[in-house]
């Protein structure tokens, strides 16, 4: 009968060696993953800084004494970087702003340039809202814009659950367009309450057709980009659109937009509080081509 040989016991040295090897392997893999993640983050940061280099350099060089206004200091920095970057990218196009009674009394003679570099050449002014409300400063702002040589436009804030023709008549009664003004603007942002989207679209078309018949020019439609894509783009072909999109990473106006409202967080000398800024998709000659002719 053969004598069995007892299995050889692993020595402590052998066990320690394998444990260290395993630990070293795990550490190396984790270290590589962390390193790769750090590199990816660094590349992303560098790309972002490079992409918005004009804005960042502008801020670092000239914005140290900027008053935060209604935004926090950090929010003000981010807003200023984006504003300068967008305006730099569109330096061959016209820049304007829009106001209502919410900006209180405006010192129109002080308004000149954005960031001291980009001239403000046009303005949109809220005239009416719904079927019964006239902006408390419309007449004042409308006259002052003309006096101070801004190309001006009037917009109506549409309330989906109020009669569309009554809203159109209020706008017509309130706004007297003249040669050189923008066509009338219909501002639609809200979804209807208690009615279908088809019913809302019927109302919008009634407003547009009534206003076009009166002024002899096709109105412009203002809305947010999502609203435009979901409800307006296909249904209202033939109209020109003024689109609001404040996304930090949207860099350029789209070819299909007449105007782009790219921020609601600007500060303009002569105006209290925050202001919307808009890029017109063209130059002075393009603008004259769409304004009221007589």
User: Is 98 annotated in the active site?
Assistant: yes
Work out the average pLDDT over 215-236: 97
Give me the helices (H) in the chain, please. 12-51, 53-62, 73-89, 138-147, 164-174, 197-215, 225-227, 284-290
pTM of the model: 0.79
Whole-number pLDDT of residue 71: 86
Q: Rank 11-15, 45-49, 254-258 by mean pLDDT and report only the highest.
A: 254-258
pLDDT of residue 44: 59
**What is the tens place of the pLDDT at every residue in 261-286?**
999 999 999 999 999 999 999 999 99
Instruction: Give the residue, 270 or 72, on which the prediction is more confident.
Output: 270
Collect all residues with Cβ–Cβ distance below 8 Å to 75 and sequence separation of at least 6.
Answer: 68, 265
Annotate 259-292 with DSSP letters as a single string. Answer: EEEEEEEE--TT--S-EEEEEESS-HHHHHHHS-
What is the H or E stretch that residue 223 is in?
strand 220-224
Nearest in space to 139 (alpha carbons), one of 175, 169, 110: 175
For the chain, list the domains and their CATH numbers. Answer: 93-290 (3.20.20.80)
Q: Which of 85, 98, 187, 276 is catalytic?
A: 98
Is 189 noted as a catalytic residue in this protein?
A: yes
Compute the chain's Rg from CA coordinates. Answer: 29
Helix (H) or strand (E) holding 185: strand 185-187
Centre a 10 Å sphere on the Cβ of residue 224 and count the other Cβ atoms it contains: 16
Kindly indicate the confidence band of residue 260, based on its pLDDT and cuts at 50, 70 and 90: very high
Distance from C-alpha of 220 to C-alpha of 163, rounded to nearest angstrom: 20
Please, which residues bridge with residue 220 across strands? 185, 240
Given 189, 230, 256, 269, which residue is catalytic? 189
Q: Could you read off the pLDDT of 152-195 as tens digits, one per residue?
A: 999 999 999 999 999 999 999 999 999 999 999 999 999 999 88
Whether 13 has a pLDDT exceeding 60, the answer reads no
């Amino acid at each position: 009968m053969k004598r069995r040989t007892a299995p050889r016991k692993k020595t402590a040295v052998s066990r320690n060696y394998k444990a260290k090897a395993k630990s070293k392997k795990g550490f190396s893999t984790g270290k590589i993953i962390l390193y790769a993640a750090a590199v990816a983050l660094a590349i992303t940061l560098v790309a972002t800084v490079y992409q918005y280099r004009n804005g960042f350099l502008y801020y670092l060089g000239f914005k140290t004494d900027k008053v935060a206004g209604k935004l926090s200091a950090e929010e003000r920095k981010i807003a200023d970087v984006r504003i300068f970057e967008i305006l730099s990218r569109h330096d061959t196009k016209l820049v304007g702003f829009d106001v209502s009674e919410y900006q209180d009394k405006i010192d129109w003679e002080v308004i000149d340039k954005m960031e001291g570099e980009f001239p403000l050449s046009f303005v949109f002014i809220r005239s009416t809202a719904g079927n019964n409300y006239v902006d408390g400063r419309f007449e004042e702002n409308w006259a002052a814009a003309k006096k101070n040589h801004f190309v001006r436009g009037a917009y109506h804030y549409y309330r989906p659950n109020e009669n569309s023709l009554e809203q159109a008549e209020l706008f017509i009664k309130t706004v007297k367009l003249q040669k050189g003004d923008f066509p009338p603007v219909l501002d639609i942002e809200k979804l209807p309450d208690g009615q279908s989207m088809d019913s809302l679209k019927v109302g919008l078309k009634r407003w547009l057709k009534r206003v076009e018949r009166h002024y002899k020019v096709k109105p412009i439609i203002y809305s947010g980009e999502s609203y435009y894509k979901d409800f307006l783009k296909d249904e209202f072909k033939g109209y020109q659109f003024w689109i609001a999109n404040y996304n930090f990473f949207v860099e350029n106006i789209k070819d299909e937009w007449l105007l782009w409202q790219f921020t609601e967080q600007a500060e303009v000398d002569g105006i209290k509080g925050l202001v919307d800024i808009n890029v017109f998709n063209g130059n002075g000659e393009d603008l004259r081509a769409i304004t009221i002719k007589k």
